[in-house]
Structure 1
Amino acid sequence: MIVTATPDLVLDVLEAGDPVTQRAATAKLDALKSSDANFAATMDAEVGKAAAAAAERSATSTADMPSNAVQSDAVNGAPVRVIKAPASGEVYRKFEAFILQTFVETMLPKESEEVFGKGTAGGVWKSMLAEQLGNQLAKGKGIGIAERLAAAHPPPPGPAGKAG
């Protein structure tokens, strides 16, 4: 007996869902597909709508609610969570560490089974050693790759850049 898990799983999820919500979601997807809208612009508009709805909900007084009521944004909350972007210098330092890892890995001896082990496990140990050495070399001043990249790409002006 052959079982195709993917269609069965999808059908089970569709059958378990609310039919009204299913039709509404299908209609939204069909509208997006037929309009040839720019996906990024559509997502930005939806995020704006969700943020406006959340602001409207928070603006309404919660004094009417009973003391044991819990307000939940699980269903209608913002669909996108912004993650704080790392400092630009940190990104360049990690890139420099990766480059140094590659350099170190090529410099390690090829025939070193007695040190790292045989086969795949030996390759993994060698790679881990190269990664740690690259990170340690880049922690200080490194070899200047991070400094040059940071100088060539200054951070954008403004209080906060977009993360994504």
Structure 2
Amino acid sequence: MAISPPSDLILDVAKAADPEKLKLASAKLQSLTSASATAMRGADGPGFGDTYDTLAGKGGYGSSIDAQRVGMHSRTAVASASTGAFTANQRFEALILQQFIETMMPDDAEEVFGKGTAGSIWKSMMAEQIGKQVVASGGVGIADMLQRSMALRNG
């Protein structure tokens, strides 16, 4: 059984694009990435932005596309790290949302998630991350309702 992973769609499109438009888009992404890296610097000393500037600016990752990819992954990691400080009520809300979201996802999307056990694991992981992001952006009110209920009970 051979595995044929899908190609990187964004890179395929970039390679097929007009070279002038690709340069323009790369320059715009680079300026946005630099602005984001600057914004991520902490007041208490060097943060991720400094590390990114060092690696991307000094050729640590080669091309500008590689540097942009590092910036995208790192911004995602910073966003994920910020969602790690959930209260117990928020974690419960994320779990409930994960179950709702996973139920709403299509069952016949093997081309998206894969087949068998691996596909169901990927589907579950995606639902989990969506649930966490919903809670991180304010949630649907389950955590707040639980907090108020516990305050009334204890109080």
TM-score, structure 2 as length reference = 0.42
Larger Cα Rg: Structure 1 or Structure 2? 1
Higher RCO structure, 1 or 2 (CA under 8 Å, sep 6+): 1
